């Protein structure tokens, strides 16, 4: 989207509680985005995740962290990480029901 296109969009005012706005600003800074960019990225992520099961969500969260293990090549492959991610997800689901 070009700068001109972006400025032609109708603004959508949203009221945010102060603590939520502060948390989003902090995450935006950490992710090198504007507050608006952070909100858009998080909304897109949540809409894309609509078809995920809780098990898939837990596994995906693990995979984000496991990627660095695969990149350092300490005996980890993406296949190993994926298997481990679902084992971790199953353990988390089991712990939730306990």
Residue 81 near residue 69 (C-beta atoms within 8 A): yes
Residue 98 is predicted with a pLDDT of 66
Range of the domain at 35: 17-51
Considering the domain architecture, whether residues 81 and 71 belong to the same structural domain is answered as yes
In a domain, 4, yes or no: no
pLDDT tens digits for range 38-90:
898 888 877 776 677 788 888 888 887 776 666 666 666 778 888 888 898 89
Whether 24 contacts 59, CB under 8 Å: no
Better-predicted residue by pLDDT, 35 or 9: 35
d(CA 54, CA 86): 11
Tell whether the model's pLDDT for residue 26 goes beyond 90. yes
Model pTM above 0.85: no
Q: Are residues 57 and 74 in the same domain?
A: yes
pLDDT score of 4 more than 60? no
- For residue 80, being part of any structural domain is answered with yes
Q: Do 46 and 27 sit in the same domain of this protein? A: yes
């Amino acid at each position: 989207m070009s700068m001109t296109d972006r400025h032609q969009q109708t603004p959508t005012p949203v009221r945010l509680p102060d603590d939520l706005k502060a948390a989003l600003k902090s995450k935006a800074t950490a992710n090198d985005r504007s507050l608006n960019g952070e909100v858009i990225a998080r909304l897109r992520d949540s809409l894309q995740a609509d078809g995920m099961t809780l098990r898939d969500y837990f596994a995906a969260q693990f995979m984000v962290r496991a990627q660095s293990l695969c990149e350092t090549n300490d005996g980890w492959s993406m296949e190993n990480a994926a298997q481990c991610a679902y084992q971790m997800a199953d353990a988390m689901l089991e712990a939730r029901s306990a």
